[in-house]
């Protein structure tokens, strides 16, 4: 019998059934917005173009380990509120796991599973010595006082401390969390250890071992990939219009870096809505308006647009830097951008992706486009481990080199195999993880 298998997953075997049962049954199929269903669909499509050793494909479809915790937090009123949190490790084949922690009221285990899987592929694509992880707490951080947020964070950090560590699993900020949250996690872990352990998290303040350039890294990396895509297509950045969905940290930095590269930002949006101006927005004035109003909506001299209308504007580049599942099959035919840069994780569903690719839209997939954050997190981790910090220009130079190398590796895979950018990116990543597993061997 051949070592290779049919990886189309049309005929799940006994192992697949047992693992699925252990996970509480398979995710509900047919729901385009289920992130884990979408991650598995992308995985299966990529694996269909690979020749993996028997069992490896099935192994990589599921997380290595999952932790679900329920914990109490004392609120400022003296009441006790109970919260649920997760930490999921997808793969440890290439090293300790790496991935953010998000605080959001709608976090689900399927979402965390999907994001952990995407982190595995992202780290492998960037050739970082990590596997993928993700964490989350079901909470709206905007409804907590600072002290309540700190108590929740320290209790959650204590609950997941059985998994995290500088050589085991290194969390980072994500939606709803920031450098301060990472500082609390680092301090909590250090108190348990009896000494300071800065390398247990990344994305923390510079004053306690954080890296210069980390806050802007994801947005900056998005623009590095856009610049390479424009160069590949022979398009002058000064003749390029850009719309940015999601004007948070990633979108704000991406818009600013695009403008510095000569591109014209014609539209931006946040959770409340968006603004459009055909001859370009004044980003300095827009940032001042958002700081005062809390939203880009109402910015003078610009037309108001909805988030969905922004997605369908006639622009050269669309940066999707909000949340997942923004471009679905329902609106994919209406998207008119020539290039889509996925600053968020999973912003395009598999059905929409197929429609867009068939229409000739150039998609820079999430595991490549927004990999700047984890790349500089890796550089921060290295600096912490050696207790030697680097200047900003060195960090940005490393970031650009790694992003550009990964971009051209993906383009080369596209040319060789005749597949889409997303499939090529995942093929490269999955093959690297598979190779690591094969070289390490199966214990015992």
Cβ count near 89 (within 10 Å) = 25
- Coil, helix or strand for 74? strand
In the set 134, 204, 290, 338, the catalytic residue is 134
Tell which residue, 175, 196, 154, 197, has the closest CA to residue 101: 175
| β-pairing verdict for 273-276 and 264-270 | antiparallel
How far does the chain reach from its first CA to its final CA, in angstroms? Answer: 23
Give long-range contacts, CB 8 A cutoff, 24+ apart: 60-65. Answer: 60/91, 60/120, 60/430, 60/433, 60/434, 61/9, 61/16, 61/19, 62/19, 62/23, 63/88, 63/89, 63/90, 63/113, 63/116, 63/117, 64/89, 64/90, 64/91, 64/92, 64/131, 65/89, 65/163
Angle at 226 between CA 220 and CA 228, to 5 degrees: 110
Here the tokens at position 28 are: 């509900």
- Sheet with strand 339-342: strands edge to edge: 303-305, 273-276, 264-270, 241-245, 317-320, 339-342, 362-364
Q: Taking the CB of residue 347, how many other CB atoms lie within 10 A of it? A: 29
Q: What does DSSP say about strands 131-138 and 241-245: parallel, antiparallel, or unpaired? A: unpaired
Q: Which two tokens stand for residue 44?
A: 């299966």
For 99, the 3-state DSSP assignment is: strand
Whether 134 sits among the annotated catalytic residues: the reply is yes
Could you give the CA distance from residue 291 to residue 4 in angstroms, rounded to a whole number? 56
- Please list the active-site residues: 134
């Amino acid at each position: 019998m051949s070592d290779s298998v049919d990886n189309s997953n049309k005929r799940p075997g006994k192992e697949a059934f047992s693992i699925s049962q252990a996970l509480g049954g398979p995710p509900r199929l047919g729901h385009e917005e289920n992130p884990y269903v979408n991650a598995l669909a992308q995985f299966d499509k990529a694996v269909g173009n690979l020749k993996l050793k028997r069992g490896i494909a099935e192994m990589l479809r599921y997380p290595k380990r999952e932790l679900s915790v329920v914990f109490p937090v004392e609120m400022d009123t003296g009441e006790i509120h109970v919260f649920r949190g997760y930490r999921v490790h997808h793969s440890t084949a290439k090293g300790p796991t790496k991935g953010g922690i998000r605080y959001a009221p709608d976090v689900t285990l399927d979402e965390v599973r999907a994001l952990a899987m995407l982190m595995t592929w992202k780290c492998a694509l960037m050739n970082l010595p990590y596997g993928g992880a993700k964490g989350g707490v079901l909470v709206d951080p905007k409804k907590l006082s600072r002290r309540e947020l700190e108590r929740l964070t320290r209790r959650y950090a204590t609950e997941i401390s059985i998994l995290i560590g500088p050589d085991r699993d290194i969390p980072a900020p994500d939606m709803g969390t920031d450098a301060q949250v990472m500082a609390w996690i680092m301090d909590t872990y250090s108190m348990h250890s009896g000494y300071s352990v800065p390398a247990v998290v990344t994305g923390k303040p510079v004053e306690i071992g954080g890296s210069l350039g980390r806050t802007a890294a994801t947005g900056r990396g998005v623009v590095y990939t856009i610049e390479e895509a424009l160069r590949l297509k022979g398009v002058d950045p000064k003749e390029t219009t850009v719309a940015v969905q999601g004007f948070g940290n990633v979108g704000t930095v991406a818009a600013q870096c695009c403008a510095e590269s000569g591109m014209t930002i014609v539209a931006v949006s946040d959770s409340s809505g968006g603004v459009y101006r055909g001859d370009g927005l004044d980003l300095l004035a827009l940032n001042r308006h958002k700081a005062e109003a809390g939203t880009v909506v109402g910015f003078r001299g610009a037309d108001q647009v909805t988030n969905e209308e922004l997605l369908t504007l006639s622009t050269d580049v669309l940066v999707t830097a909000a949340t997942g599942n923004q471009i679905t099959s329902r609106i994919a035919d209406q998207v008119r951008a020539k290039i889509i840069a996925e600053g968020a994780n999973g912003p395009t569903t598999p059905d929409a992706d197929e429609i867009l690719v068939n229409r000739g839209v150039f998609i820079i997939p999430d595991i490549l486009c927004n990999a700047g954050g984890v790349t500089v997190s890796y550089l921060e981790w290295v600096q912490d481990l050696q207790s030697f910090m680097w200047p900003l220009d060195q960090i940005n130079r490393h970031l650009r080199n790694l992003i550009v190398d990964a971009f051209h590796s993906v383009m080369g895979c596209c040319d060789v195999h005749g597949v889409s950018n997303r499939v090529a990116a995942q093929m490269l990543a999955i093959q690297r993880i598979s190779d690591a597993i094969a070289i390490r061997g199966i214990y015992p």
